[in-house]
């Protein structure tokens, strides 16, 4: 912060000195070596300031370019993500339907097999009873 104040103060002093020297030149007086150096310093200061402004402008342009490219990329990724989300959602819905259909088919098969097993169990029990009767009759 002190550096900014010193630069500001130095620029103000330089401007005042240049104004005083300009009045001296306007009145036709000869300039001293130190006054010429002050004018050269003022010119250098202005050129440096112009360069800094040009660099700042280039950085601002670069920042705007990077921001726009970033936003374009973000939009592209968002669109792709939404598309993939919809695709995966549709595939999951389709798989869920297929699983439900398979579950119904398997439940029906299990029910049929259960009935067959019950019928076989009754038949085996009947055969067992018949065998026991036959064995009792022989003894």
pLDDT tens-digit series, residues 39-69: 898 899 889 989 999 999 999 999 999 999 9
Cβ pair 15, 43 in contact under 8 A: no
* CA atoms in the 13 A half-sphere facing the CB of 6: 3
* Distance (Å, whole) CA 53 – CA 49: 6
Residue 39: predicted pLDDT: 87
Q: Answer whether residue 138 shows pLDDT above 90.
A: no
Cβ pair 31, 17 in contact under 8 A: no
Band of residue 93 on the pLDDT scale cut at 50, 70, 90: very high
Residue 108: predicted pLDDT: 96
For the full predicted model, state whether its pTM sits above 0.85.
Answer: no
Q: What are the boundaries of each domain within the chain? A: 32-138
């Amino acid at each position: 912060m002190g550096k900014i104040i010193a630069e500001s103060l130095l620029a103000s002093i330089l401007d005042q000195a240049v104004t005083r020297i300009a009045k001296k030149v306007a009145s036709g007086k000869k300039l001293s070596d130190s006054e010429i150096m002050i004018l050269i310093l003022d010119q250098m200061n202005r050129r440096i300031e112009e360069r800094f402004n040009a660099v700042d402008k280039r950085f601002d342009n670069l920042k705007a370019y990077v921001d726009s490219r970033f936003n374009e990329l973000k939009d592209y990724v968002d669109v792709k993500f939404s598309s993939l989300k919809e695709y995966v959602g549709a595939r999951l819905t389709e798989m869920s339907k297929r699983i439900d259909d398979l579950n119904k088919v398997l439940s029906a098969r299990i029910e049929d097999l259960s009935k067959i097993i019950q019928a076989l169990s009754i038949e085996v029990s009947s055969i067992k009873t018949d065998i026991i009767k036959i064995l009792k009759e022989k003894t």
